[in-house]
Amino acid sequence: MGNVNIINHPLVKHKITLMRDEKTGTREFRILVEEVAMLMGYEAMRDLPTEDVEVKTPITTRKLPMLCGKKLAIVPILRAGLGMVSGLLALVPSAKVGHIGLYRDEVTHEPHEYYCKLPDRINERLVIVCDPMLATGGSAIQAVDFLKDKGCKNIKFMCIIAAPEGLDALRTAHPDIDIYVGNLDEKLNEDAYIVPGLGDAGDRIFGTK
């Protein structure tokens, strides 16, 4: 059974509040997404495996822990998930990056896939799927379905803001994965946007609309 981890840290809460402000422009929004992803990544990577390697310090030689970083894949859901990648790569620069392109139909709110490219031997890696927004949960569920079809067994999902409806749906569809949430918001509105939310994360990161 996976865990739901709601990140309870004043730095994360503060930066999410700045992201929500409609006066926050594209440049600042993009920086905030990157920073929140990095702070959340610190928690999500808490159980990354390490191996002891021999290091010669100026004083002596010891076997000391280093990350087995090559086993990690970061998989953003396009477009908005792309904004989180640089923050996560700052923590583990050797991680591989895959991409799953999904857009939500404006009327049905169903996700549609338009792109997928994953690192080799994805089934052997810890995969961290990232997307700033978990609304109905449709996009996250489809991305995890797809990764499981490819044989992935060790999957985590990270989002900056979740709606209760989406979190419940993802937990029901994929109870085995660990989920990291920057803030659990109130609800979805009639257009399946998160309330209070921050609007359309992709548009705010890329300055479209």
Ligand X SMILES: O=c1cc[nH]c(=O)[nH]1
Does residue 192 touch ligand PRP according to CB under 6 A? yes
Structure tokens at 124: 């052997």
| Category of 197 on φ-ψ map: left (φ > 0), alpha (ψ -120 to 50) or beta | left
Q: Is 108 a catalytic residue?
A: yes
Between the CA of residue 3 and those of 60, 107, 167, 171, what are the distances in Å? 41, 32, 12, 9
**Alpha-carbon gap, residue 48 to 195, rounded angstroms:** 33
CB-wise, 4 or 48, nearer to ligand PRP?
4
Does residue 197 touch ligand PRP according to CB under 6 A? no
Catalytic residue among 26, 108, 172, 208: 108
When binding is defined by CB under 6 A, the residue of 76, 87, 137, 197 that contacts ligand PRP is 137
Does residue 194 touch ligand X according to CB under 6 A? yes
Question: Segment contacting ligand PRP (CB under 6 A): 32-40, 55-63, 86-94, 197-205?
Answer: 197-205
Q: What ranges make up the beta strands (E) of 57-151?
A: 61-67, 72-78, 96-97, 99-104, 111-117, 126-130, 133-134
Q: Is 203 a catalytic residue?
A: yes
Output the smallest distance, CB 126 to ligand PRP, in A. Answer: 21
Output the smallest distance, CB 149 to Mg ion, in A. Answer: 24
**Alpha-carbon gap, residue 150 to 12, rounded angstroms:** 33
Phi then psi for residue 58, to 5 deg, are -60, -15
Does residue 206 touch Mg ion according to CB under 5 A? no
> Is 20 labelled a binding residue?
no
Does residue 133 touch ligand PRP according to CB under 6 A? yes
Does residue 193 touch ligand X according to CB under 6 A? yes
Residues that bind Mg ion (CB under 5 A): 200, 202
Question: Which active-site residues does the annotation give?
Answer: 104, 108, 200, 203
